[in-house]
């Protein structure tokens, strides 16, 4: 009986705050919860914000969004990033509201509600958020014309077409924006120069990607040359020039080669197209006979079929208005008196496939 009484006394040591019975004289659960700071937060938070692009420092590095965050959202995000919740808090809920704002200073109210040992605990406080405007490293590079690579878009024996230069620009901005999502990858500038287009990129890897894409799409090849331009933090800095050489002939060209008038449909290192004399498909490698541009399919004109047979047709030449006899290619399906598309060249007149075929 005596021991039972001792045990009851030991199990009923009062809480030093409210006197409720506890096992060892520590704070009871309710008093412990009341005295616990469930939220840890500084009275003032400083946020470094780029005045040019709206990016801000988070977790030690610059971050950005598609559009700059409004000051209110930026301040709320900073508070939520800074806020720490006690390890014993359960089901925490945090509400942050902007109570007042000046151009670079915002005052926010922060309410945290959680449960500690089964008791509801509330924490309310006020925080001052200071927005420090500056220029981020990327914007500093942009404004300073920083670049690590130049992509030179050229073509063998001709100027690049408008389509090719526009496609090169599309690749450049895709690499800078969508494909990498890297703040340090951007288009520094573009220049139309004699013989083509120069694209200046902030990284050498971005330049390489553009060169690869262009040659994969249009054929040809590229060379790269690195030039030492300085040193930073003990490392040598290089600028790389990617010299892209697109093929001499492009789809739509009519090329004379080895007795054939070839309408080019593709050129990925091997010239592919339609023989305008026979209508058959043909491929010509670089090692084959010499090639000469004799026209463009866009220059074709309408002409009247005077006569039609299985093997030949007579056409009224739109240039000389004389009747000429040519071999009938397999793609030519027309009757006497109808209009067909023909191309006049220094090697003769050739029917060409319908533009819709």
Gap between the Cα atoms of 65 and 69, Å rounded:
7
Task: Tell whether 357 is covered by a domain.
Answer: no
Residues 207 and 119 in one domain: no
Q: 259 vs 343, which has greater pLDDT?
A: 343
Report the pLDDT averaged over residues 37-44.
Answer: 92
Task: Tell whether 194 is covered by a domain.
Answer: yes
Task: Tell whether 208 is covered by a domain.
Answer: yes
Last residue of a domain, one of 107, 137, 167: 137
Residues 265 and 316 in one domain: yes
Task: Tell whether 356 is covered by a domain.
Answer: no
326-355 as b/e: b if 16+ CB within 10 A: bebbebbeeeeeeebbbbbbeebbbbbbee
Highest mean pLDDT among 85-89, 129-133, 226-230: 129-133
Residues 124 and 55 in one domain: yes
Gap between the Cα atoms of 71 and 131, Å rounded:
8
Query: According to the model, what pLDDT value does residue 6 have?
Result: 44
Cβ count near 186 (within 10 Å):
23
Phi-psi region at 142: left, alpha or beta (left = phi > 0; alpha = psi -120 to 50): alpha
Residues 169 and 240 in one domain: yes
**Pick from 82-86, 182-186, 223-227: least confident:** 182-186
Cβ count near 15 (within 10 Å):
17
Residue carrying the six token digits 């506890």: 22
Distances in whole angstroms, Cα of residue 267 to Cα of each of 127, 190, 216, 220, 250:
65, 26, 10, 8, 6
Query: According to the model, what pLDDT value does residue 54 have?
Result: 86
Given a cut of 50, is residue 58 above it in pLDDT?
yes
Highest mean pLDDT among 206-210, 332-336, 352-356: 206-210
Residues 79 and 46 in one domain: yes
Task: Tell whether 46 is covered by a domain.
Answer: yes
Furthest CA-CA distance within the chain: 135
Last residue of a domain, one of 226, 246, 266: 246
Residues 164 and 239 in one domain: yes
Residues 45 and 61 in one domain: yes
With a pLDDT cut of 70, the percent of the chain lying above it is 92
Query: According to the model, what pLDDT value does residue 182 have?
Result: 66
Structural domains counted in the chain: 4
Residues 242 and 316 in one domain: no
Give the model confidence (pLDDT) of 133-191 as tens digits. 999 988 899 889 999 999 999 998 899 999 999 999 999 999 987 544 567 889 999 99
Give the model confidence (pLDDT) of 62-82 as tens digits. 886 667 889 999 999 999 999
Structural domain boundaries, residue 84: 36-137
Query: According to the model, what pLDDT value does residue 25 have?
Result: 73
Query: According to the model, what pLDDT value does residue 244 have?
Result: 97
Q: Are 153 and 246 contacting, i.e. CB atoms less than 8 angstroms apart?
A: yes
Residues 63 and 133 in one domain: yes
Last residue of a domain, one of 75, 107, 137: 137
Report the pLDDT averaged over residues 27-42.
Answer: 90
With a pLDDT cut of 90, the percent of the chain lying above it is 55
What mean pLDDT is reported for the chain?
A: 88
Residues 53 and 119 in one domain: yes
Residues 189 and 168 in one domain: yes
Task: Tell whether 331 is covered by a domain.
Answer: yes
Task: Tell whether 176 is covered by a domain.
Answer: yes
The 3-class secondary structure across the chain, one letter per residue, is CHHHHHHHHHCCEECCCCCCEECCCCCCHHHHHHCCCCEECCCEEEEEEECCCCCEEECCEEECCCCCCCHHHHHHHHHHHHCEECCCCEEEEEEEEEEEECCCEEEEEEEEEEEECCEEEEEEEEEEEEEEEECCHHHHHHHCCCCCEEEEEEECCECCCHHHHHHHHHHHHHHHHHHCCCCCCCEEEEEEECCEEEEEECCHHHHHHHHHHHHHHHCCEEEEEEEEEEEECCEEEEEEEEEEEECCCCCCEEEEECCEEEEEEEECCEEEEEECCCCCEEEEECCCCCEEEEEEHHHCEEEEEEEECCCEEEEECCCCCCEEEEECCCCCCCCCCCEEEEEEECCEEEECCCCCC
Query: According to the model, what pLDDT value does residue 208 have?
Result: 97
Query: According to the model, what pLDDT value does residue 145 have?
Result: 92
Report the pLDDT averaged over residues 308-317.
Answer: 90
Residues 99 and 22 in one domain: no
Given a cut of 80, is residue 29 above it in pLDDT?
yes
pLDDT bin (cut points 50, 70, 90) of residue 125 is very high
Report the pLDDT averaged over residues 250-278.
Answer: 87
Gap between the Cα atoms of 182 and 58, Å rounded:
15
């Amino acid at each position: 009986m005596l021991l039972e009484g001792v045990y009851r006394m030991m199990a009923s040591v009062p809480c030093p705050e409210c006197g409720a019975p506890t096992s060892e004289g520590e704070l009871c659960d309710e008093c412990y919860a009341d005295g616990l700071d469930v939220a840890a937060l500084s009275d003032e938070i400083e946020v470094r914000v780029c005045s040019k692009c709206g990016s801000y420092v988070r977790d030690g590095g610059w971050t950005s969004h598609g559009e700059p965050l409004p000051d209110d959202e930026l301040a709320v995000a900073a508070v939520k990033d800074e806020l720490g919740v006690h390890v014993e808090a359960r089901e925490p809920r945090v509400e942050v509201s902007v109570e007042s704002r000046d151009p670079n200073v915002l005052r926010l109210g922060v309410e945290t509600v959680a449960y500690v040992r089964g008791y509801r605990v509330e924490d309310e406080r006020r925080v001052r958020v200071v927005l420090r405007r500056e220029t981020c490293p990327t914007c500093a590079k942009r404004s300073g014309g920083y670049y690590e690579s130049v992509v030179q878009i050229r073509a063998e024996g001709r100027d690049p077409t408008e389509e090719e230069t526009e496609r090169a620009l599309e690749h450049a901005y895709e690499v800078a924006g969508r494909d990498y999502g890297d703040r340090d990858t951007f288009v520094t500038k573009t220049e139309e120069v004699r013989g083509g287009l120069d694209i200046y990129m902030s990284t050498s890897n971005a330049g390489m990607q553009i060169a690869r894409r262009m040659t994969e799409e249009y054929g040809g090849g590229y060379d790269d040359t690195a030039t030492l331009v300085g040193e930073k933090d003990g490392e040598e800095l290089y600028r790389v020039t990617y010299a892209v050489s697109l093929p001499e002939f492009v789809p739509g060209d009519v090329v004379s080669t080895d007795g054939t008038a070839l309408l080019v449909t593709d050129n990925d290192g091997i010239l592919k197209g339609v023989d305008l004399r026979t209508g058959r498909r043909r491929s010509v490698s670089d090692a084959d006979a010499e090639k000469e541009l004799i026209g463009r399919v866009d220059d074709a004109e309408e002409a009247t079929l005077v006569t039609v047979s299985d093997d030949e047709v007579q056409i009224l030449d739109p240039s000389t208005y004389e009747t000429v006899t040519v071999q009938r290619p397999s793609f030519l399906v027309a009757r006497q008196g109808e209009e067909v598309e023909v191309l006049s060249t220094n090697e003769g007149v050739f029917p060409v496939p319908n533009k819709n075929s």
